[in-house]
Chains A and B, each alone.
Chain A
Amino acid sequence: MGEGLDLDILIVEDEPAILSSLEFILRHAGWSIDSTTDGEAALNAVRQLRPKAVVLDVMLPKKSGFEVLKELRTDADTRDLPILILTAKGQKQDLRTAAELGATSFVSKPYANSEVVDAVRDLLAGIGNIDAAAT
């Protein structure tokens, strides 16, 4: 984990192949990036690095993406942090849970790189997509 005081995106993803692609495409799009691979480390990283947005996988070791999301939403400091959830199962229930817990946006795997880049761009501009999709 790096020391980014002006960090744009924190990626939380435990699959190394997906993580390296995500790091590449988001960095290539011009954002500063850092990453972690489990839920507990993600919570520490958010508090320490204070990213502008988080790209968060659901299936993570130690703490699931949903647990991380819930904890971030109950903390006054991170209540409004833009969070994009990566759902692997593509199930409506996951989407509903993510929306109920306060995720800002979502992208379903398998995705096109441009979908992630567009969603992150919207996320940083304060535009989410999850409420319409989850209903």
Chain B
Amino acid sequence: MRAPIGLRIRNFRKAKGLSQSGLAKSVGISPAYLNLIEANKRDVGGTLVQKLAGELQVDLHELTGETEQRLISELQEAFSDPILESLKLDTAVAHSAVATIPEIARALHLSYRAYLEAAASANAYSHRLKSDPLFSELLHQMLSRITAVRSAAEILEDVPDVDERSRQTFFATITRESRDLSDSARALIGEFDREVQSHRSVTPAREINDLLIEERNYFPSLEQAAQDMLGEMTGGTPPSVEKLTEVLATEFDVSVEYGGPVPASALPNRRFGFDPQTRRQWFRAGSAVASVRFQLARRYVALRAESLIADLANDPRLTSPRARELAVQALTANLAGAVLFPYQQFYEEAESCQYDLDFLAQRYSASFEQVAHRLVTLRKPGAEGIPFGFLRADPAGYLSKQFPLPGLVMPNAGHACPLWALYGAFQNAHSISRQTVSFSDGSRYLFIAKAAAKRVSAYAEQPVVSSVMLACDLLHADRMIYAQGLDLGNTDADVPVGPSCRLCVRHSCAHRQEPVAANIVG
């Protein structure tokens, strides 16, 4: 794409008060040729452009328009946004605008950037409104009060024959509910003020969570790609370690080695890795079969579907390189899961065994975590599994991985509520822990969790222990084997929990580890 250098030469020439023929003469070309250059009808480069820059006394980059080219790209990006795309910015017009009115073009670019920032803030607020228990409660209160006021006012206005007693009742309702509404509104505004002060840009993790919620954890193109790969590889059945090793070697010249030398750059606790220089996928000795199989599948799909994954990760909802990088990792793991647990077969087996994760893990030679991860993605319309949220934590309580469930408030990072089965599972490692829980907003969930240690190679090595938890709305719990023997209708048996101490309004909870955040009321 040619930069609008001609227009810039003309602008600089006029700014210096030079005639076309005067400038042409001083750089050794004809006025007619300079006229063609200024009209953008001839390319200009090499020594001629250097001479022109010298005569016009401007920086070469300014004259060649590298900075302007970037600005043109930015304008084109802005005009491709849904809010502006109907205006159809022609490439030539973009060039002309940047060359002739650069300040306005820059102002437009800066305004667009500011708009993107503002839109990101609005998204962040929207997310909070939807997921924060405090906002949710305040909004619920406000909607209830507005409903009461509106309904009572309409009765007084529309019904001529209201008896005196009812009239008094509805007047009193309007007075009382309006007053309470003011209190709720003040509390909400106070929250926004605090939010504005403490607002930080949307985190990459939160952007990914939002994206997963919007896509309902289901990516049809990945499922289709997995189906195609399986069809070629095995005719449809999940591939073995041997098969994956074979296709990695034949299709991508990747060798797989166990127990060999570990690259010096590998972190001490890394049990596997890929060296792109030698095209070697290495594993430490004694790696579990489930882990090896998953990592081989992951390596294979990363190489096989690189452009598909990159396209999906290049989503406008992900606004930073870090978010897109995390999305590539998440989507690659998702696709590896889709290859190892073919959708329809896995969905039908999950339903028929009532989501018995241990059974499924054995059936598919997989780990509990891999099965849990795949269950989260069973959201194909018409063949939808139970909607699950997923969390993984280390023994110190730190949340190391999560997939959101609409409605269930999960802390974005740090620690969740200490009462969650996610943590209780550490006391009873390798067995399933289950619990029915109630949140302070009345929502109820079934939590199932299991803690396990990754295999170690030597006594001196510290095993990596983690707990994995699936959460589902109690409304779906009766489809799971883990609901057997539980009285799901009895709320008295629920464990009263919160999202995390900072977000929980149960002030008197004996398990509180830190005070409730100052902006939480209740």
Binding site for B on A (CB under 8 A): 15, 17-18, 20-22, 24-25, 28, 59-64, 66-67, 70-71, 88-91, 93, 97, 101, 109-113
Contact = CB atoms under 8 A, between A and B. Distances in A.
Given A15-B148, A60-B442, A93-B406, 18 more contacts: A17-B176, A21-B148, A21-B152, A21-B155, A21-B170, A21-B173, A59-B140, A61-B442, A64-B442, A71-B489, A88-B143, A88-B147, A89-B139, A90-B143, A97-B473, A97-B475, A111-B147, A113-B155
A107 to B, nearest CB: 10
A20 B144 contact: no
A63 B144 contact: no
B146 A110 contact: yes
A109 B144 CA distance: 7
B427 interface: no
- Interface class of chain B by DSSP: helix
Contacts of B158: 113
A17 B152 contact: yes
Contacts of A21: 148, 151-152, 155, 170, 173
A118 B311 CA distance: 48
Q: Considering the complex of A and B, which 9 residue pairs feature the smallest CB-CB distances, nearest first? A: A17-B148, A21-B151, A110-B147, A110-B146, A109-B147, A17-B173, A113-B154, A109-B143, A93-B406
B513 interface: no
Given A15-B144, A110-B150, A66 B475 contact: yes
B144 A112 contact: no
A44 to B, nearest CB: 13
A88 B155 contact: no
B136 interface: yes
23 contacts: A17-B145, A17-B148, A17-B173, A18-B151, A20-B170, A21-B152, A21-B170, A22-B151, A59-B441, A64-B442, A66-B475, A67-B444, A70-B475, A71-B489, A88-B140, A88-B147, A89-B136, A91-B130, A93-B406, A109-B144, A110-B147, A111-B147, A113-B154
Contacts, number: 79
Contacts of B491: 62-63
Interface of B: 130, 136, 139-140, 143-148, 150-152, 154-155, 158-159, 166, 169-170, 173, 176-177, 406-407, 441-444, 473-475, 489, 491
A97 B472 CA distance: 13
Contacts of B176: 17
Contact of B143 (A28, A110, A112): A110
B444 A89 contact: no
Nearest to B177: A17
Contacts of B489: 63, 67, 71
A97 B473 CA distance: 10
Contacts of B150: 110-112
Given A64-B442, A66-B475, A28 B139 contact: no
B184 to A, nearest CB: 13
A18 B140 contact: no
A113 B475 contact: no
Nearest to A97: B475
A118 to B, nearest CB: 13
Considering residues A24, A25, A63, A90, which has the most beta carbons from chain B within 10 angstroms of its beta carbon? Answer: A24
A90 B142 CA distance: 12
A64 B152 contact: no
A71 B170 CA distance: 34
Contacts of A110: 143, 146-147, 150
Given A17-B176, A93-B406, A25 B442 contact: no
B492 to A, nearest CB: 10
Nearest to B174: A17
Contacts of A88: 140, 143-144, 147
B169 A20 contact: yes
Given A28-B159, A61-B442, A88-B140, A112 B154 contact: yes
Nearest to A17: B148
B389 to A, nearest CB: 13
A111 B144 CA distance: 10
Contacts of A15: 144, 147-148
Given A97-B475, A101-B475, A24 B143 contact: no
Contacts of B406: 93
Nearest to A57: B144
Nearest to A61: B442
A18 B441 CA distance: 19
A64 B442 CA distance: 7
Given A88-B144, A91-B130, A113 B151 contact: yes
Contacts of A25: 151, 155
A18 B144 contact: yes
A24 B144 contact: no
A59 B442 contact: yes
Contacts of B151: 18, 21-22, 25, 111, 113
Nearest to A113: B154
Contacts of A89: 136, 139-140, 143
Nearest to A94: B407
Contacts of B166: 24
Contact of B443 (A64, A91, A111): A64
B404 to A, nearest CB: 12
Given A61-B442, A63-B489, A67-B489, A20 B147 contact: no
A110 B145 CA distance: 8
Nearest to B169: A20
A123 B176 CA distance: 32
A25 B154 CA distance: 10
Contacts of A90: 143
Contacts of B155: 21, 24-25, 113
